[in-house]
Structure formats: structure tokens, C-alpha cells
Amino acid sequence: MALRKKQKTCVETVTEKPDHFDGLPDDLVVFILAKLSASASRPSDFINTIVTCKRLNRLGKHPLVLSKAGSKALGVKANNWSDSAHRFLVRCVVAGNPEACYTLGMIRFYCLQNRASGMSLMAKAAVKSLPSALYSLAVIQFNGSGVAKNQKNLSSGFTLCARAAFLGHVDAIRELGHCLLDGYGVVQDIPKGRQILIEANAREFMLTLSAMMKRQQQPMFHQCDQFGCFNGSASPDCPLLSDFGYNVGGLEVHPVNTFLREWFGSGKGGLAHGLRNCSYFGCGRPETRSHEFRRCSACGLVNYCSRGCQALDWRSKHKMECMPIQRWENQEGGGDVVVEGMAGIEEVEGDHDLAVDVTD
């Protein structure tokens, strides 16, 4: 018999590459996820990461990760609001996240009309010295939101506002300055009020300039020249020193304020008859009772939850739109003389609103 040659078969051994991710300790992965949740620019940045695999999904729910989540990572859109979004915010609250306490507190207080729970959550955030929560509680106290008109607590509002201002909250600093200018909740001190307004606008300008430099990566001189700091021009997109007649670029709106604006703007959360939203686009707060917010005494068409919102909206938009209504123009004696500028807040007797007097 002929010997058959055995054919040599070459067996290829495929060696799998080691998965280094599996070798990372859980503590390190949790630390990385906590950094991601704190720096995420939108919720999807964090969610798309934790749904990648089962391990990331499990570690992404670690209390440390949830406690570090920033306002942008928690910034759910009004159209995407659901029970699962609510549960996620609750888990972050349980983990001790102050931003989650503030965000869920604002949503419950204004959107879901659960006043007690909303106030409690915002108070938890305020106890942890979250400036935005302190300022929102101050606005609630100034307006008497959720309670009767005669239950407003101006002194408590001023105290909360002063604490938020001390922590560097620009809107609170501006509101504090106007309170001192007008003697609203505190003894009137015009020189101190103007000094605080200058500080508010200077802080706002520096924050705006810093944010724009980070986005565009331009030298400081070119950046300033672009926004009219040296050539005397004023760009409509970057108002500077808004309380003193210059243009200052608006700071980034907090995600929960965007949520409120979208919630009521889309009709998802309907307001009762006669209630209105704050006219400043960066606010979104609604009235909780009729005639709660201040009204422009010149045109009577716009409403503001705070003196700070009125100041920002006046310089950024309303100054060009405000037209005095006929009943003010024809009023004899003691009427408001409407000119370009801003002054204090006055309370109109009767069933009228709190009027923002636009006078020099």
C-alpha cells in the first residue's frame, strides 16, 4: 500500500487581547465616574457612559457618583420629564447632592405645586450653602410665594439674599444692591447699594469674559476688543455693566430655570387664570397667586419676580420695547414721568401689582 502523506494542518491560535478595563479596581472607576458626573455638560454625556456596560451601569449608581453630579448633568428637559427622571433626581437627593435638592425642589415647588416638599428640598440645599438655593428662597420670601400676600417676610428675604451674595451669587449681589437702594427689607443705604451694584456688574463681566475666552480660546485683548471694552462700541450680544447703561453679556442660565421656562412655555404646566411668568428669559418662575410679581409701571405689560430680573431684562431687551401706556401719559399731577432709566420699586395700593417704576 502506498503510504499516504499526512497533510500538515496549521492550527492558528488566536490569543484574545486582555481587557484592561476589567482589571481596574472599582474605587478608581467610581472616582472617574464621579468626575464625569460633576463636569458633564449635558445629561446625555453621563447617561451614554453608564449604559455602555453592566459594570459602568452598576458603578454609575454609586452614592459618591450621584452626590457629585453637577447642575448640567441633572438638567433634564421639560419635554423629557418622566417618572424615571424624577426617580433619578430622588436618588441623587438621597445621596446628598445639593444641586439635586435644589433642582427637584424648584420643580416640585413651581411645576408640580408641591410647595412644602419643594421648600424643604431647597432648604436642604441652602443648608449646604448652595448659592442658587439661597437666592431662590430669598425670592420666595420677598414675594410671599405659595402663601398669602400679607405673609411676605422681607427681612428673611434680605438675610438669605445677603448670604447668597456673600457666596458670590451674581443675581443675589444685584438684588442686594437694589434692596439697599430702595430700602426694601432693610434700612435704605444708597451709597452702599450703588457700591454693591458695581461689584455685581464687575463680577458678571469677569465671569462672562472668562466663559467666552474658554469657548473661543482667544487672547484677552482680542476678546475684550471684540465685545467693545476698548473701542467704545457695545455689542448686543454682550452687555457690559447693565445697571449703569452699558451692555453686559448674560451669564449662563441655570438648567432648572430653563426647565421652568420650557415647562410653562410649552403648555405642559398650565398656569391658573390671571397668573403670569417672570418676563426675564433667564428666570422662568411663575406666580403662585394673582398680582404676586412686580409690573413695569410704564407699559404694564411685563412682570418680574425680582428687582434683579427687572434690571437685567430692562437693559437687555425691555428698554427698546417699553412704550408708556396712555393712562400714565394723561394722568395729571403725581403721575410717573417715564424716561430712560431705572429707579425703585413701589407698591400700588388696591388690587394693582407691585410696580417697577422706570424713572431716573
DSSP character string of 44-106: HHHHHHHTSSHHHHHHTTSHHHHHT--TTTT---GGG--HHHHHHHHHHHHTT-HHHHHHHHH
pLDDT of residue 325: 59
Across residues 56-75, what is the average pLDDT?
94
Q: For residue 187, is pLDDT > 80?
A: yes
Residue with cell 410647595: 115
The count of residues in the chain is 360
Across residues 11-37, what is the average pLDDT?
78
- Alpha helices (H) in the chain, listed in sequence order: 26-39, 43-50, 54-59, 63-67, 83-94, 98-106, 115-127, 131-143, 154-166, 170-182, 190-216, 220-226, 255-265, 307-313, 319-321, 326-329
pLDDT of residue 5: 52
Lowest pLDDT segment from 50-59, 243-252, 316-325, 340-349? 340-349
Task: Identify residue 305 by its one-letter amino acid code.
Answer: C
Helix (H, G, I), strand (E, B) or coil at 354: strand
pLDDT of residue 348: 39
Cβ-in-10-Å burial (0-12, 13-18, 19+) of 8 comes to exposed
Task: Name the grid cell of 153.
Answer: 417676610
Task: Identify residue 232 by its one-letter amino acid code.
Answer: G
- pLDDT-based confidence at 164, cuts 50/70/90? very high
Give the residue extent of every domain in the chain: 25-128, 129-197, 271-320
Across residues 35-39, what is the average pLDDT?
94
Domain boundaries 129-197, corresponding CATH code: 1.25.40.10
Instruction: Kindly write down the DSSP assignment for every residue of 18-32, as one continuous string.
Output: P-TGGGS-HHHHHHH
Contact predicate 46/69, CB 8 Å: yes
- pLDDT-based confidence at 217, cuts 50/70/90? low
pLDDT of residue 250: 57
**What does the mean pLDDT of the chain come to?**
79
What percentage of the chain has pLDDT greater than the value 90? 48
Which tops the pLDDT comparison, 142 or 332? 142
